[in-house]
Structure 1
Amino acid sequence: MHSFSLYFLTYYYCVMQGGHVEAVIANMTALQKHVAFFDRNNDGIITTSEMFEGYVAIGCDAAFSRATASSISAGVGPKTSPADAPSPHLSVYIEYIHKAMHGSDTGAYDAKGRSAPEKEWGLIYKLASDEEGFLHRDSVRGIYDGSVFFKLEKQRTSFRSDV
């Protein structure tokens, strides 16, 4: 029996902190944690619009965010959608994210979605490095468990409220 409510009772609980809902994720693989940031309403399903919002929240421009969200949804959505998911299968289901892994992946996650910290860089360097161009250890670790996305969004929100 496939039940998302059971999934969330097991994996998610939310804590209100200063008016911002922060997902506290237990028993998830690193890969699930990595993508959970983009699940903006914490329902276990990442829509294209949620993915777009997530990329904008971490500092990507709208054009990049739209293109990336569309391509990821088209490529990953069908692989992670359960048989009973509504068509078109463009939403990414966190529970099944491991099914989207393929041979040309960076190897940052193993077949079960656990992290292999010695792999993966790119966009995160641009977004998470400091003013001197250094990417700190906690940011690197945060790439794998998704915590760096929450940190980047908080920094951007703080910066906008200071202006």
Structure 2
Amino acid sequence: MIVEPNSNMLKMTPSTDADMQAPPSYDIVMASSGPFVPGGASKADNVKVPYQGPSSGTAGPASQTPAMPATTVYNYYNPVTHEHVASLLPPDHPQMICLQRGGHVPHTRYGVLDHCTQFLIPQFTVVIHLVMLLSLLIYQSAVRTFIRQVSVTYERIPHNPTESEGDKLVNPGTARANLAPSLAAPEGTQADDWAAKHRHQTVLQQHCAYFDPDHDGVVWPLDTFRGFYNLGFNLFLCAIAVVIIHSSFSYATSSSWVPDPFFRVSLNNIHKAKHGSDTGTFDNEGRFIPQKSVQRDSSMFEDLFSKYSGGKGGLNKWDIANVLKGQRVLLDPTGTFGAFFEWLSIYLLFWPEDGIIKKEDVRRVYDGSIFPELAARRSGKTKAD
């Protein structure tokens, strides 16, 4: 089985391996012992297995089976790694019948055939070949995402989209200018016509739009204070948020070389406030990236939950701590602190009863659609202590 360059089609090429003379034995290439792992295999070893009687399972004398000439052996290779998976005799070969009746060495592996030992009619041995082909076709688009020698690669498994997911979310590695889609919400936030009302803004601008109540594109310190207060934060936390946000982002988003004495934040340049050690969900222009592409080396939205949520569909405080640890980069205290402040604010904002911030809520934090909803829900209620 080989993969042609620039082609997604798999092709099987037979090769003549060895003379099958009496007493019968067959040469079949088996990988080293251990479970079959799609996407890769260890270096293959040539193992000569003696013929065993098809009914008794014991070795038969030479007289029971006639001498056989050279036979074709079908070699199968992993379509991703090009490593050898298995070599099979033709479906109608007598020793293939022996093989499928259980005359193989059970503690070795050679692809999925280790599980196909119940086809007792010779004509059905072709099914074994079909199963092997199907197995390789299924994993043709698979990508090896971890290696056992490097623990961090399997502790943080990236999102590996399936074919069905590709139908839900087209071109997931392409950044969206004004939508924040996910597999669960491929069209972004449609509630209250959020996407339509904010189609003139990037997703990062939408994230900040709640703090610009007069929609003039400028966020004053008082706007930030009121925004946090209406979300349920107490006076002290609101003041801290104002100091951190406006001292960090005012000059970065200014269109002038002269610092703004009022420490205002300009949403037209909010993309300049992107910092390091973040999740990489926003690109440098303020677009939203649903999923990592091969050109990017940061963790995007789907990757964030695939790596750190442990399949819970959300993040608890320990997951967030792992996010901060896993996403920080060298010599970036400013970005690390910024990420810490942002995730702390998100956790305090939701303060979930079960301790888990839901994935959909985090997505709506990114596009800002959840802020007006939470503020309206909490209006008139006691603010958080």
TM-score normalized with structure 2 length: 0.33
Which of 353, 360, 375 matches 1:138? 360
Q: Distance in 1 between matches of 2:351 and 2:287?
A: 24
Which of 123, 126, 148 matches 2:370? 148
Q: Contact 1:38–1:50 at 8 Å: present in 2 too?
A: yes
Residue 78 to residue 86, structure 1, CA distance change in 2 (3 Å): closer
1:157 shift after superposition = 1.2
Q: Calculate the aligned-residue CA RMSD, in Å.
A: 2.8
Q: Distance in 2 between matches of 1:108 and 1:58?
A: 23
Q: Distance in 1 between matches of 2:258 and 2:198?
A: 23
**2:318 aligned with 1:96:** no
Q: Which has the larger radius of gyration?
A: 2
1:80 maps to a residue whose letter is: T
CA shift digits 1:59-97 (9 cap, x unpaired): 111111112112211110111111298832611111110
Q: Distance in 2 between matches of 1:132 and 1:87?
A: 43
Residue 129 to residue 138, structure 1, CA distance change in 2 (3 Å): farther
CA shift digits 1:74-131 (9 cap, x unpaired): 1101111112988326111111100111334443311111234237743213322543
Residue 84 to residue 127, structure 1, CA distance change in 2 (3 Å): same
Residue 64 to residue 114, structure 1, CA distance change in 2 (3 Å): same
1:49 maps to a residue whose letter is: L
CA shift digits 1:16-37 (9 cap, x unpaired): x9xxxxxx32232211111111
What is aligned with 1:64?
Answer: 237
Q: Which runs of no fewer than 5 residues in structure 2 stay unpaired?
A: 1-177, 179-191, 289-299, 305-322, 324-338
TM-score normalized with structure 1 length: 0.72
Q: Distance in 2 between matches of 1:88 and 1:123?
A: 26
Q: Which has the higher helix share?
A: 1
Aligned residues: 140
What is aligned with 2:348?
Answer: 126
Q: What SS does the aligned partner of 1:122 have?
A: helix
Q: Distance in 2 between matches of 1:89 and 1:158?
A: 30
Q: Distance in 1 between matches of 2:248 and 2:285?
A: 19
Which of 191, 200, 204 matches 1:27? 200
Q: Which runs of no fewer than 5 residues in structure 1 stay unpaired?
A: 1-10, 12-16, 18-23
Percent of paired sites with the same residue? 33
Q: Contact 2:254–2:269 at 8 Å: present in 1 too?
A: yes
